[in-house]
Structure 1
Amino acid sequence: MIIPQDYVAGFALAGHHDPALAETYLRFTGKGDPLADAALASVESSVGRRWIELGIEGGGGALAEAPEQMRAFFAEAERVPDWYHPAATRAGHRAFHGNSEMLIGAFVGAVLIEGFATLISKSFAITGRVTDQGVRRLQQNNRHLVEIFMPGGLDRQGEGWKLSVRIRLMHARIRQLLSRSPEWEEPAWGVPLHAAHIGFATAAFSGLLLHRGRQLGLRFSAEEAESIMLVWRYAGHLMGVPPDLQAATEAEALHLVAIGRMCEPKPQMEAIMLANSLINSAPLVAGITEPAARRRLSRYVYRVSRALIGDEMADQLNYPKASTFGVLPFLRLRNGADRLLRKLLPGQEQRRRAGQFRRMLDLSFVERGMISYRLPGTLHAEKDRDAGRDAAG
C-alpha cells in the first residue's frame, strides 16, 4: 500500500487505535469509483449527459445503445442490496421531518463543515465549486439531505435516488478533470475525491448528524436512529461508497469518523476557506440580505458551530473568537420546552411540522425544477460558467 505523503503521520497515529480500519481508510485514498469512472471514460463529455439522463430517468432499458461500461454502471446502481428494506426507513423519515429545522442546522453548522475539514476540501477549492458558489452548494447539499428523507425518496424513481446517483457521476467527472490537472498532487493527497472521503462524508452525515442533533437537545428512539442510519447507508451505497466503508450502525459511523480524522492532516488553507464560505453563505440561503442582519446571523452561526465542533477545530478553521457559554444548554432547553408544549397542545404539533416543512423547502432548493444532468466541461467553475454562457449565445 502506497500512503500519500500528507497521510503518513496520521496513519501512524490512527494505527495505534484501530490498525485494521486505519489501513482500510488509507487503502481507499488510492481508489476512486471504478464503475462510475469507467462509465464516464467510455463517452465523450458532450454525449455523456444524454446517456446519464436516459439512465437515471429511463433505467437500463433506455441504454441499449450506450457503451457497455455505462450499462454496467446503471445495472449496479439499480441493484438493491439485501440489507436494504424500504419499510425500515419510515421511522427515520418521521424523525427527520419532526426535527428538520434543528437537523438542518446541525448539518450546516457542524457536520458539513467537519466533512470539508478533510483533504476533500482541496478538490472543491481547486474547482471553485464551493468558494465561488457557497449559497448554491449549501442549497444542493440541503436538498440531497431533504430528498433522501422524503417518503419514497430512495425508491428507483424517487428524487433522492436520482440525486444520489447524479452526485456519484458528478464526483467521477470532477475526479476525471482533477486527475488531468497539474494542480492536483496525487503523491501527497491520493486520488481526487477518493473513496475514503466519500465514505467519511456519509458516516459524518449519518452517525455524526445524530450526535450533533442530540447536542442540540433532540431525542431519537433506537428505532429512529437505526432507520436514519439505514437511509444514509443506502444513499452512500448509491453514491459509490465501498462496502468496507459503509457504516451500518451509529457506533460504526462515529468510529469511522474518529479514525478518519486521525488519518487526515489538520485542516489546511482550503478547508479554512470552505468552512468560512459556507457559514457566511448561511444568511443568504435563509433569505437574509440586509448587511447588518447578515452579520448578526453569521456571528450566531459561528457561535453555535464552535460550540458543536469544539474550540480546537474552530481555531484550526480560523473562526472568530467567541464565547460559547450557554449556547448549547439554551438550545436544549428550548427544544425541551417545545416538546412539552406539543404534549400540552396537540394541535400545535401539526402547525409546527407544516411550518418546518415550508422553511425546509426554502432552505434546500436552488430552483424547484428538474434535476440538471449537465456535467462540468472544464475544471474551474468560473470558466465552466463562461463556457456555458458562450454556448448559449
Structure 2
Amino acid sequence: MNKRPASVPEAYKDGYARAREADAEMADRYVGYTLVGDPLADAAAAELSKHPAEQSQQWIRNGMEKGSAALTDAPPAVRAFFEDADATPDWVDPELMMAGCRAFHRHSEMFVGAFVGAVLVEGFATLISQSFSITGRMVDTGVRRLKQNNRHLVEIFLPGGLDREGEGWKLSVRIRLVHARIRHMLQDADDWNPDWGLPLSTAHISYATAAFSGLLLHRARMLGIRLSPDEEKAFMMIWRYSGHLMGVPEDMQCGSVESALRLQRIGGMCEPPPTLEAILLANGLINSAPIVAGITSPKARDALTSYIYRVSRAMIGDELADALNYPKMNTFGTLAFLRTKNHAESLLFKLLPALGARNRARQFQRMLDVSLHDAEGIGYRLPVHLYAEHDGPL
C-alpha cells in the first residue's frame, strides 16, 4: 500500500497532514492501513462465530497443535488461515534468532522494564487504546493483561519459542485470532466511532510490533544496554516473525531498528493527541506493575510506582508524559544512574562468569513471576461478549 489513501478517518486528518510533510510515503501507508483489518483472520473469526463454541475451539486447537492438515472437517476460511500461519517466510533464520534470544535473556530485567515502563505506554498512547478501553480488556483486567503481554514477550524470546511447536508461535497466532474476533464485534458496536478508522487496524498492529521491536531496543539503549549488530538483527527478526504471525503485512514489517523507528515516528505523528482512554490505560499499566511484581505492602507499592513513573518519564520525555497526565517530577540523572549501574554490572559479570550466570537465572525467575502462565496451558477460546465483564478470562 504505497499510494495516497482515498479517504482519511476524521481523527487522523490533522496529524496525517503534518506527517506527510516529514515522510509522505510512510504517512500514506500508515493512514491507508487505519481502514484495513486482517482479511484471512477476519474471515476465519467470522466463520468460527457461526459454530458452537466447543466445535470452534476444537478446530483452533487442532490447527494450533497439529497444523492445517488436521482441519479436513473445518470451514475453508479456517483452513486458509492456518495454512497461511503454517507457511514460514524465507527470511526466517532460526540459527540467527538464537543470538537475539541470548541477548534478551542477558538483559531481560532491563528489557522487561523498558517494555512496561515505556514501550507499552507509548503503544497505548495511540487510538488503539479505544479498542481496549471499550471492551474493558485493559481497564477491568489490567493486571492479567499486563502479565499476558509479558508472557508473549518471554515466550517469543525462549530458544525455539517461535518454532512451529513453540509457545511463542502459538501465542502470536492466538493473538491474531483474538484481535480479529474483537474487531468483528467492535466494528458494528454503538461504542465505536468510525472517525477512529477500523478497530485494531493493520496500522495499529504494525505500530505495536514496530514499537515492541525497534523502539524497545532504542529504549533499552537509554538504560545502557548494548547489543552487537548480529544480536540486533536477530532481535528484530524475532519480532518481525511474531508480527508476521499476528497478521502484519510484508510492507509494514520491520527488519531493522531504523525501519521500525521510522514507522513508529511517522505513525505517531499521524495519531491524534492521547485521549482520556489512553491516559487511563497508560497510568493503569504503571500502577498495575507493582501488583504484578507481587508487592503487597502499600508503602512499597507506592515507592515502586513512583520509581516507575520517574524512569518512564525519563524515557518517553516530558511532552508525552505530561500529555498522559504523569505526576510532575525531576528526572535529572535517572537514566545516567541506570546506565552506570548496568555498565558496572556488565563488567563485574565478565570478571566473574559464575556470578553472571546466577544473575541471569534470577532474572529469568523474576521474568516468569511477572508473566501469566496458566496451569492448563494456552487457552483457545475466543471472546464471546464484547465487554470483558461479561466474558471469562481469555
Q: What is the deviation of 1:363?
A: 1.1
Q: What is the deviation of 1:368?
A: 4.4
Alignment partner, residue 3 of structure 2:
none
Match of 1:284 among 284, 291, 304: 291
Match of 1:75 among 83, 101, 104: 83
**1:298 lines up with 2:274 in the alignment:** no
**1:323 lines up with 2:330 in the alignment:** yes
After superposition, residues 367-378 of structure 1 pair within 5 angstroms as 367-378=374-385
Q: Give the aligned residue type for 1:40.
A: A
Aligned residues: CA RMSD: 1.0
Match of 1:342 among 349, 352, 370: 349
**1:30 lines up with 2:1 in the alignment:** no
Contact 1:126 1:380 in 2 (8 A): yes
Structure 2 length-normalised TM: 0.96
Q: Give the aligned residue type for 2:127.
A: L
Alignment partner, residue 321 of structure 2:
314
**Which runs of 4 or more aligned residues in structure 1 lie more than 3 Å from their structure 2 counterparts after TM superposition?**
none
Alignment partner, residue 92 of structure 2:
84
Change (3 A) 1:218 1:284: same
Q: Give the aligned residue type for 1:274.
A: L
Alignment partner, residue 245 of structure 1:
252
Query: Number of residue pairs matched?
Result: 385
Contact 1:15 1:23 in 2 (8 A): yes
Q: Give the aligned residue type for 1:49.
A: Q
Identity rate of aligned residues, in percent?
Answer: 59
Q: What is the deviation of 1:290?
A: 1.4
Contact 1:136 1:366 in 2 (8 A): no
- How far, CA to CA, are the matches of 2:44 and 2:36 in structure 1? 16
Alignment partner, residue 259 of structure 1:
266
- How far, CA to CA, are the matches of 1:369 and 1:292 in structure 2? 34
Is the deviation greater in 210-219 or in 367-376? 367-376
- How far, CA to CA, are the matches of 1:182 and 1:257 in structure 2? 30
Partner-residue secondary structure (3-state), 1:42: helix
Q: What is the deviation of 1:291?
A: 1.1
Q: Give the aligned residue type for 1:105.
A: G
After superposition, residues 1-393 of structure 1 pair within 5 angstroms as 1-43=6-48, 44=50, 46=53, 47-186=55-194, 188-385=195-392
Q: Give the aligned residue type for 1:270.
A: E
Contact 1:154 1:161 in 2 (8 A): yes
- 1:184-230 deviation line (CA, Å, top 9, x unaligned): 012x1111100000000000000000000000011111111010000
- 1:305-327 deviation line (CA, Å, top 9, x unaligned): 00000000000000111110111
Contact 1:40 1:48 in 2 (8 A): no
Q: What is the deviation of 1:99?
A: 0.3
Is the deviation greater in 280-289 or in 338-347? 338-347
Partner-residue secondary structure (3-state), 1:244: helix
Q: Give the aligned residue type for 2:156.
A: I
- How far, CA to CA, are the matches of 2:375 and 2:25 in structure 1? 44
Name structure 2 gaps, 5 residues minimum.
1-5
Partner-residue secondary structure (3-state), 1:76: helix
Contact 2:112 2:150 in 1 (8 A): yes
- How far, CA to CA, are the matches of 2:179 and 2:167 in structure 1? 18
Is the deviation greater in 233-242 or in 374-383? 374-383
Q: Give the aligned residue type for 1:6.
A: A
Q: Give the aligned residue type for 1:237.
A: H
- How far, CA to CA, are the matches of 2:317 and 2:175 in structure 1? 30
Q: What is the deviation of 1:38?
A: 0.3
